[in-house]
Amino acid sequence: MNDTLGFKDLFKKSVLHLESFGTVSYIDIILGLACSFGIGMFIYWIYKRYFRGVVYSYNYNVSFVLMTMITTLIIMTISTNIILSLGMVGALSIVRFRTAVKDPLDIVYMFWAISAGIATGAKMYPLSIIGSLVFGLVIAWLSKKKIKHEAYLLIIRHTEEATDELRVLLQKLNTKLKSKSVRNGFTEVTLEINIVDDNTAFMKIIDNIQGVQTCSLVNYTGDYAQ
């Protein structure tokens, strides 16, 4: 006799036991949501503490907490019945997320929240807690590693009389030209420059050059567009 259950048998079994949605106890629900909330708040704190982007988004950070809890709730729901799991997959397949994520590290935080929610919903509490602690320690360790050379954009607006002196100075600073525009007798150049240990003394030298109107420094994230 073949004891192997096929998909049709599992489907029939799920239909016959469709009232088995109460298999998730109230204790499991409270414990799972509490654990996912704690992990979500830990992700929230790590993201806020070690954020290195240009503009910090509070709403985006809060979404990690809710994403962890929602994923836990989904896993708890579909684990009770195969009919629900198939229906949930179909329902989620029509959802389209079109929010642009510019920083690749933000995607890592998203997967972290989802993975923690899946593990918590599957009642693998040690896995979700220990895994989250390890991820947090790795992010903290990598964020504290000092970056000796950090890229910035140097924007200079000057007249023709400052061109020669600026060219000599910029060659010494080892800059890379990103864009150049000429308008109404003024030239505006945007250059990429690496700064060592936050040393910006060269900006005073540039500002003292005859013919330089403005000189500004902008943190470069790779998304600059003229």
* 84: pLDDT strictly greater than 70: no
Radius of gyration of the chain (CA): 28
Of 7 and 159, more confident: 159
Of 17-21, 98-102, 123-127, give the lowest mean pLDDT range. 17-21
Q: How high is the pLDDT of residue 19?
A: 47
What mean pLDDT is predicted for residues 152-169?
A: 86
Point out which residues pair with 216 in neighbouring strands.
155
Residues 120/65, Cβ–Cβ less than 8 Å: no
Residue written as token pair 């988004």: 57
**Residue with the larger pLDDT of the pair 91 and 111:** 111
Question: Alpha carbon of 186 to those of 120, 158, 183, 201, 211: distances in Å?
Answer: 61, 6, 5, 24, 9
Residue 192 sits at φ, ψ, to 5 deg, of -90, 130
**In the prediction, which pLDDT does 225 show?**
41
* pLDDT-derived band at 34, boundaries 50, 70, 90: very high
Average pLDDT over residues 185-214: 83
Cα–Cα dist 224/176, whole Å: 14
Q: Which two tokens stand for residue 134?
A: 């390890």
- The percentage of the chain sitting over the pLDDT mark of 70, rounded to a whole number, equals 72
Q: Which two tokens stand for residue 42?
A: 């830990």
The domain limits of the chain are 7-144, 149-219
Place 205 in a pLDDT band, splitting at 50, 70 and 90. confident
Structure tokens at 177: 């030209």
According to the model, what pLDDT value does residue 200 have?
Answer: 79
Q: Selecting from 3.30.70.260, 3.10.580.10, 3.40.190.170, 3.40.640.10, what CATH number does the domain 149-219 have?
A: 3.30.70.260
CA distances from 174 to 36, 99, 138, 181, 194 (A): 49, 37, 33, 20, 8
